[in-house]
Amino acid sequence: MSQPSGPNAAALAADRSRAPGTLGVTIAAAKADRRAALIGYLPVGYPDIDTSIDAMRAMVAAGVDVVEVGVPYSDPGMDGPTIQAAVDPAVRADAGAAAVVMTYWNPVERYGVTRFAADLAGAGGSGAITPDLIPDEAAPWIAASDASGLDRVFLVAPSSTDARLASTAAACRGFVYAASTMGVTGARDTVGATARILVARVRAVSPKSAVCVGLGVSTGRQAGEVAQFADGVIVGSALVRCLLDSPDAAGISALARLAADLADGVRDTP
């Protein structure tokens, strides 16, 4: 793939002079502590807004560095069955969120890209992860996120070409989201070598980019494995499962225990 051109190139050139956003500062702080950052995902509004917020607070208290807040969407093509099961009721509840938001692109377009960026920044959000948006088609979001001082995170996958890795890393601010496996989200028993190879490939074309790995991590041991080669470890389905199994205080307690185990994992790496 070719490098971004036109409006994208101009926006990216201007962006290179900007100071790191909140995500970059957080990941850098973790690196200074000689560890990877821990990023925990939960969909806002499941099983209800108050419980989801309590669960996010519990994650932070247990050692999660960044909360990735999932914005409910009726057609989450990348999410596996665990996350879809939690997001669907939240869609019906029409919940909103502010923080490091994970959202598919259609809701942002319907909301209005400039308005979304301004409102997210105004509510205290750090930025957004857009899993189905590629930098080549992201000129409006790049401009809006620049104007509002937001981080923006795009995804790379094992199938990405070196040119695609380079252009995506250049468009990111905060970190590059490395999807460690092909397919949808979901906890897995093992974390394969594919993730390590993908991180190395991103760093080869963009040495200064922070690279965080998601899709599949579900235990502290796995988090520790990934933390040995990535700047951040992203955990979603395993945390969501705690609330699906028990959408109440007991589920939040289970989630907090898992978050603590994951936090220990990223902190105990050699």
Domain coordinates in residue numbering, the chain = 20-267
Which residue ranges of the chain lie beneath pLDDT 70? Answer: 1-20, 72-99, 181-192, 269-270
Which of the following is catalytic: 65, 79, 225, 261? 79
Which of the following is catalytic: 48, 65, 68, 225? 68
What pLDDT score does 73 carry? 59
Report the alpha-carbon distance of residue 170 to residue 208 in Å, rounded: 10
Select 20-267's CATH number: 3.60.15.10, 2.40.160.210, 3.20.20.70, 3.40.250.10.
3.20.20.70
What pLDDT score does 105 carry? 93
Residue 109: active-site member: no
Sign of CA dihedral 21, 22, 27, 30: positive
Q: What is the pLDDT of residues 23-60, one digit of tens each?
A: 888 899 999 999 999 999 998 888 988 899 889 889 98
Q: What is the DSSP string of 40-71?
A: EEEETTSS-HHHHHHHHHHHHHHT-SEEEEEP
What pLDDT score does 74 carry? 52
The overall pTM is greater than 0.85: no
Residue located via tokens 């019906």: 92
The percent helix, strand, coil of the chain (3-state, each to 5) is 50, 15, 35
- Say how many C-beta atoms besides its own lie within 10 A of residue 106's C-beta: 13
Residue 68: active-site member: yes
Q: Is 45 left (phi over 0), alpha (psi -120 to 50) or beta?
A: left
Q: What is the pLDDT of residues 55-96, one digit of tens each?
A: 988 998 899 998 898 886 555 444 444 434 444 434 333 433
